[in-house]
Amino acid sequence: QTGPVIDMPVPSSFNDITQDPSLENYIGWVWYEKEVLLPLRWLQDDLNTRVVLRFGSAHYYSIVWVNGVQVVEHEGGHLPFEADISSIVQGSPGIPCRITVALNNTLTPHTLPPGSIQYMNDKTRYPKNYFVQNIRFDFFNYAGIHRPVVLYTTPSVYIDDITVTTTSSESVAMVQYQVSVVGSTLYSLSLSLHDQEGKVVATGDGPAGELKVLNPNLWWPYLMHENPGYRYSLEVKMQAQANGALLEDVYTLPVGIRTVHVTSTQFLINGRPFYFHGVNKHEDADIRGKGLDWPLVVKDFNLLRWLGANSFRTSHYPYAEEIMDLCDAYGIVVIDECPGVGIKMPESFGNKSLQHHLVVMEELIRRDKNRPSVVMWSVANEPASELPPAAYYFKTVIAHTKALDPSRPVTFVTDASYALDRGAPYVDVICVNSYFSWYHDPGHLEVIPLQLTTQFENWYKTYQKPIIQSEYGADSVPGLHSDPPLMFSEEYQKAMLREYHSVFDKKRKEYVIGELIWNFADFMTNQGTTRVLGNKKGIFTRQRQPKSAAFVLRERYWKIANESSCLPPIIKSHSLFL
């Protein structure tokens, strides 16, 4: 027995696709199903071919069957999972392969992000069994299969994972590698590193080692070098004997050679001070919700570069791999954040939540560890870090993250008081969100200089760690004007930014290493009395058109970039267009 069956595009959220209001806010199980015909050659050499079904992400709890046989279960959205389905499909060539997915978007105190289901038991006010999904984060809880679903093959002996780290001086770089092979212990590995012209610059063999690159082209951020985002290609070739056949698996990994180092006042990339002038984003757009959409992705990168932004945080969850690929290619620096948003309830700091959080960090690091654009991990956004259990919780999550990847600094983003935050002792960089004259002292722009200066000085005096203003901003309804500036007008958004910027300019001479506007674009939220079709703090509308604040930010970001002496004249000439 099934409910109504409708067509549903993948990748996409299901919420905004139909005219059905009950699907818009649906909480619970949905089922996806599709039949595909697999190429015969995948099914004939069944001893030596492995067929894999891979999901880029699905929200949030997934169970997958192939031809009625359960093949994988996965908890959490935003990250990939896969299943080896060879034994199921190889016995029946020519028969359609039926893929069935059950998805549940319910959030509980122990999921990431957490939430809670509240039953409304007052029969005089609510129908029987009426419940709501409570969440403690300010974006719409879209659900569905949000990223591509692919079938691919490998030999039965295959390259399972590659880990690359790099060190460099002026004239020489070292690329350390580790390769894991699954399916046999008898295999050979050869590696070759190619530059962008295809020339081999280093070779190696075996599962672990070091490649030496003379006069390397380093991976530099956008606006820090005339050739940002330089990547080599590491070709890894495995050969093995299995079942009387010679098997070969080849994987090519883009490699950026760059270093990251944090001091008490600076963030260094390749030994040079780096200042984050960037944005916070969301995977969010009309109709498709959080579904991957290539035109939107490319438009966003064009807007980022127009803006002069050199960085963004993946607020508040890991973004699609396709987005991360472009960050690597364009030199856009990323603070890579896990879905640890809305960790507010005491029960979300217990062992069950902690264990899941550790697994999520493992999945995120396995996916993104080789990306030169990723310079820092963020393990949470605005948790209730003043609660007593937050100390052990964040100490453990951060230690685990550093053990998995010792090469990158780790942070989480706080809105707690500097004097009460129990997680801050364990981070490498302090990331602070504040909305002076918006959520606090609304309408009073005149308090910003004092309150923001005090915020920075208190945090620095307490921790002697560099600070990023990881969120600040104001809602503005496009086309709403007011002078003198009033809240929700485009003028107020501009005025607030300018007040913050004047403090940033003083403190970036000392220990403030970045500013990330909230938000790049307007985005959908739950309905509420302070939300008019979503959050309007974007400097672009949800349709990616600029508000007045976008031009203020653009002028500032290009000015900051042009202060850097390492920029070639061709980039400096961009300032002519301001």
Q: What residues are labeled active site?
A: 382
DSSP 251-290: EEEEE----EEE-SS-EEETTEE--EEEEE--S-BTTTBT
Q: How many CB atoms lie within 10 A of CB 185?
A: 7
For residue 263, how far is the Cα from the chain centroid? Answer: 25
Which residue matches tokens 């999921």?
Answer: 111
At 113, list the tokens: 């992000």
The interaxial angle of helices 448-463 and 490-507, nearest 10 deg, is 40
The amino acid at 20: D
d(CA 47, CA 50): 8
For residue 34, how far is the Cα from the chain centroid? Answer: 29
Contact 346, 385 (CB under 8 A): no
DSSP 387-423: STTHHHHHHHHHHHHHHH-TTS-EEEEE-S-TTT-SS
Which residue matches tokens 């009033």?
Answer: 486
Beta-bridged to residue 247, according to DSSP, are 240
Contact 131, 337 (CB under 8 A): no
d(CA 374, CA 364): 11
Distances, alpha carbon 182 to alpha carbons 51, 73, 161, 358, in Å: 14, 21, 9, 24
Beta strand pairing call for 245-255 and 232-242: antiparallel
DSSP 58-109: -BSEEEEEETTEEEEEEE-SSS-EEEE-HHHHTTSTTSPEEEEEEEE----T
At 474, list the tokens: 């104001």
Contact 412, 427 (CB under 8 A): yes
The interaxial angle of helices 294-307 and 548-563, nearest 10 deg, is 60
